Amino acid sequence: MLKTAVIHPTIMEVLARSGHFAQVVIADGNLPVGAMTGPNSTTVHLNFRPGLLDAITVLEGILEVCPIQGAIVMEKPVEANAEIHRAYKKLLGDVTWEEMERWSFYDKIRNPNTTLIIQTGEQRRFANLILTVGVVKMAEESNF
């Protein structure tokens, strides 16, 4: 039995084989994930209907399971609202944060380091998020 609330078998399997610097993508409901698949990525579809499951819920689950050291979002146009970026920053805490131009962001998803793409039912725009897996620190390694 698992002690975590995250019990999706494919997500758990892929996260278990994702090492340091692997990329995990939380995709909104609009990202064409079929065109984003890289050579080492597995796609999981959690977009049952609009709004289910949302990106924040998925991020909270991922944070229960593995350490994250960095996050990348797509740059938004000046006039666009990307409130979800603030929510991500609040949940992620002290990780490196980057905003990337749209086409470079798409190329980053296709990178061989991407091991998991989770498509959500998230409807907010600019909700796509690339996470970089960190390392599990041992108690005696807390100084780095």
Residue 71 CA to residue 3 CA, distance in Å, equals 26
Global confidence as pTM = 0.92
CATH architecture assignment, domain 9-133:
3-Layer(aba) Sandwich (3.40)
Antiparallel, parallel or unpaired: β 23-27 and 129-133: antiparallel
Displacement of CA 95 from its chain's centroid (Å):
13
In tens digits, what is the pLDDT along the chain, a chain of 144 residues? 778 889 999 999 999 999 999 999 999 999 999 999 999 999 999 999 998 999 999 999 999 999 999 999 999 998 988 899 999 999 999 999 999 999 999 999 999 999 999 999 999 999 999 999 999 877 666 665
Number of H-type helices and E-type strands within the chain: 5, 6
Residue 105 CA to residue 118 CA, distance in Å, equals 16
